[in-house]
Structure 1
Amino acid sequence: MSTIDDVIALAAAHGLDLLPESADVNEAGLDYRVVMADDTEGRRWVLRVPRRADVSAGMAAEARVLDLVAPALAAGGIAVPDWQVRGPDLVAYPALPGSPGLTLPGGEPEWHMDPADPGYAERLGRLLARLHSITPERAGAAGVEVRTPAQVRRSWAEDIARVREEFTVAPALAGAWQDWLEDDTCWPPATVMTHGEIYPAHVLFDGDGTITGVLDWTTARVDDPARDLAAQYGAAGEEMLRAAVSAYGEAGGRVHPGLVAQARHLWDASPIGHALYALTTRDDADLAAAAAALDPGA
């Protein structure tokens, strides 16, 4: 879709009567183009248009995740998208209450909250304890992808091997990855239902800082609990990571001895994910950015 009018027309084909003059577009997402617009009764809608065929193919899996997590998080006053339009060319749902803690106008980060706020760390920990309480058995029964601890570790090893085959990786970085793969203390003894990209751009807040909703469940699955804590380390450092883990444990989350270290490792492994994304898109700019991150001295 090349224009907002095209997206509004697509919504109309799915039965939504939206006002073009009310529309705003967000181009920052890697997988979806997002447009927000009002209907004729003043209700705000979120329209997600997939950018690639592989994104469309994954939408059914995300829908199953939303159906699973919605009641668990609603019990804690936290909303997730209610997809009222579910098509291969468009997802649409009523806008959730609250505003994101981070936006990227023009590609530059603009913070609307303080990620180093101890109050946020506590709320994040409680949110994750609630999400992670969904058992792998329930997730599997709902058709959500389930990875065992052994599969999580093996998947990282395979991803690292693929990146090293496709790119030049600085020896120090490659060595750090190998040490991490071999360190038994970091890897989780159990896996849990995770979001996968839970950071302030995907978290909604009210005016008091209360978390009201969580967006973008594209990468959600049963996996390493640390994947939902890594961004807290990246945004706010180890002290606030430990604060979130403390609140997580107090709220019933299972804290294994290597959880904090694993969250740090996962954040430091971000270039692996960027490289895999570049291999998916095969875009020259994406490939160049991934190569630079993997071998900064080249």
Structure 2
Amino acid sequence: MPRRMEALREISQAGLPFAVPEPLTPVTRFGERTAVAVSWIDGEAQPEGQGDPDQIGKLLRAVREVTVTPRLRQLLNAPREKGWAEVLAEEVIPRLPDRWRDECRTRLEAARDLEAVPDALVHGDLCGANVHWSRDGQLIGVLDWDQAHLFDPAIDAALMAWHGWDTIRKAVDPETYRRARIYDAPFDVGHLVGVLDGRPLANVEGYVRSIVGWLEKNA
């Protein structure tokens, strides 16, 4: 948590056109638990499937265009340097039911083999309750940067498909949309971020069960 709070301080000072929670206290330990107070962000989430493409496009551009300082690069995971796809290929694909293995391996290879783009700040959980809007649909702030990392900004575009893929198609350029769909295809971009943010897969079997549920639902 201390490292995540340092990253949050860096992000909150990046001049983003919306509010970002700021740490208000030092990180406190309670046995094996840690806690910290952060500033309050007003507003509320939009319902799933709703959203203004213009507002969503501005949000995605603002995050993508944050200057990655040397300090921010030191604090955040950079998946491209860590063999992220190999982790999934070795630990997850073999545990999938037979009917899904070949298809998911093909989809994962397509994501892995996307032409590289410069690393940018990626929020990593940019959907639902983590994005707060005013009652008239204006962006107020973005919460929960715990899964922030440095990678392809198309990841955040895929996460914002909470608002609907048709909305995302209108919010971003065609190439970002194409990449977002490819990252989402193997087993949902929300699961993918579980590897991209740098934290180890502590419960691989539970992770696989969740992926299988998503695959069955979207078959």
Corresponding residue for 1:161? 90
The CA RMSD measured in Å over matched residues stands at 3.3
- The TM-score with structure 2 as length reference comes to 0.76
Identity of aligned residues (%): 18
1:224 aligns with 2:158: no
SS in 1 for 2:75: coil
Q: Which runs of 5+ in 1 are unaligned?
A: 1-58, 102-110, 247-254
CA contact (8 A) 1:81 1:93 kept: yes
Change (3 A) 1:294 1:97: closer
Match of 1:87 in 2: 28
- Code of the aligned partner of 1:145: L
The change in CA–CA distance for 1:127 and 1:163 in structure 2 (over 3 A counts) is same
Greater fraction of residues in strand: 1
Corresponding residue to 1:124 among 47, 50, 56: 56
196-205 or 267-276, which deviates more = 267-276
User: How big is the shift at 1:182?
Assistant: 4.4
- Once residues 194 and 66 of structure 2 are traced to their aligned partners in structure 1, the CA distance between those partners, rounded to angstroms, is 31
Match of residue 130 from structure 2: 202
Relative contact order higher in (CA < 8 Å, ≥ 6 apart): 2
TM-score by length of 1: 0.58
Match of 1:261 in 2: 178
Whether the aligned pair in 2 keeps the contact of 1:205 and 1:213 (CA below 8 Å) is: yes
Cα offsets for 1:209-236 (capped at 9, x unmatched): 1111101111101111111011233540
Give the superposition deviation at 1:116.
Answer: 3.5
Structure 1 segment 20-169 matched on structure 2, within 5 A: 59-74=1-16, 76=17, 78-85=18-25, 86-88=27-29, 89-101=34-46, 111=47, 115-117=49-51, 119=52, 121-136=53-68, 138=69, 140-142=70-72, 143-147=74-78, 150-151=80-81, 154-165=83-94, 167-169=95-97
| Partner Cα separation in structure 2 for residue 170 and residue 234 of structure 1 | 29
Q: Match of 1:290, as an amino acid?
A: S
Asked if structure 2 preserves the Cα contact closer than 8 Å seen for 1:80 and 1:96, the reply is yes
2:120 corresponds in structure 1 to 192
Distance 1:116 1:64, change over 3 A: same
Aligned length: 206
